[in-house]
């Protein structure tokens, strides 16, 4: 079985995305796929969408990608404002050359994928775009997790929470830690969160991505120039919190 990389929750953070692709190239991995949220929060949606279109074999839709084309009632004010900014940057127009291909690409993203014997969602097997599978769900929402596991018969991969790790059938969640965490898969149902490239929230500001083989997943962390990203967010007039949180990984 082929080895491939998984990225998710890029959130228009070009510095983080370039650092992740550089590490993927260093590792000699030829296939990369994206679990959604290419846009949102950050200042450079065009460059990130172009890179995904060029580098990823396939991508699926995240809630922020969905938000480009739908009402923003589900989003908090920071996310809504950033999506309005992103719409202005990406929406095609008479003198906005090159936008149509990116806009149509995002609009056509599927909400799930099956490949290499695995299942892939942005959110969860129950609600592929919107539902969070939280690290605390195993002990706070065991019925929810039981329903999720009832929908899968093999390992699946998600993003959305920005917190990398693995949910097992016994409802344990084991967080990824350090520069590289390795988890055995062995074909058993599991929910693997690959973390976030562009806006980590587990207290580690380094970008996160996964490398998958038939029986194993590794979650890698990569440092990047978050100060450069912060400068661009502030220059774009986006909320300062969206810049500040990158330094804290929160």
8 A C-beta contact, residue 178 and residue 206? no
Q: Give the domains, in start order, of the chain with CATH numbers.
A: 4-248 (3.60.21.10)
| Dist CA 85 CA 40 (whole Å) | 9
Percent of the chain with pLDDT over 70: 98
CA-based nearest residue to 243, from 78, 51, 87, 76: 78
Given this model, what pLDDT does residue 97 score? 62
Residues 127-158 have pLDDT tens digits of: 999 999 999 999 999 999 999 999 999 999 99
Residues 107-132 have pLDDT tens digits of: 999 999 999 999 999 999 999 999 99
Tell me, rounded to whole angstroms, the distance of Cα 193 from its chain centroid.
9
Residues 5-51 have pLDDT tens digits of: 999 999 999 999 999 999 999 999 999 999 999 999 999 999 999 99
What pTM does this model have?
A: 0.96
| Dist CA 228 CA 37 (whole Å) | 21
| Dist CA 118 CA 112 (whole Å) | 11
Given this model, what pLDDT does residue 93 score? 72
């Amino acid at each position: 079985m082929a080895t491939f990389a998984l990225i998710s929750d890029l959130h228009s953070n070009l510095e983080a995305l370039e650092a992740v692709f550089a590490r993927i190239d260093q590792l000699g991995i030829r296939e990369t796929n994206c679990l959604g949220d290419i846009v949102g929060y950050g200042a450079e949606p065009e460059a990130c969408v172009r890179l995904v279109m060029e580098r990823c074999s396939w991508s699926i839709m995240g809630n922020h990608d969905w938000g480009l084309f739908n009402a923003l009632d589900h989003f908090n004010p920071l996310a809504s404002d950033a999506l309005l900014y992103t719409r202005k940057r990406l929406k095609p127009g008479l003198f906005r050359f090159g936008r149509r291909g990116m806009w149509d690409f995002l609009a056509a993203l599927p909400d799930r994928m099956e490949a290499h014997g695995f299942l892939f969602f942005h959110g969860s097997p129950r609600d592929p775009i919107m539902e969070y599978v939280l690290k605390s769900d195993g002990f706070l929402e065991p019925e929810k997790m039981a329903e999720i596991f009832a929908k899968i018969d093999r390992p699946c991969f998600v993003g959305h929470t920005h917190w990398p790790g693995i949910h097992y059938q016994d409802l344990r969640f084991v967080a990824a830690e350090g520069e590289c965490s390795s988890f055995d898969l062995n074909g058993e149902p599991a929910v693997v969160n690959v973390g976030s490239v562009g806006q980590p929230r587990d207290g580690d500001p380094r970008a996160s991505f996964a490398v998958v083989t038939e029986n194993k997943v590794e979650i890698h962390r990569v440092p990047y120039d978050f100060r450069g990203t912060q400068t661009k967010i502030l220059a774009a007039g986006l909320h300062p919190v969206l810049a500040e949180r990158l330094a804290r990984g929160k």
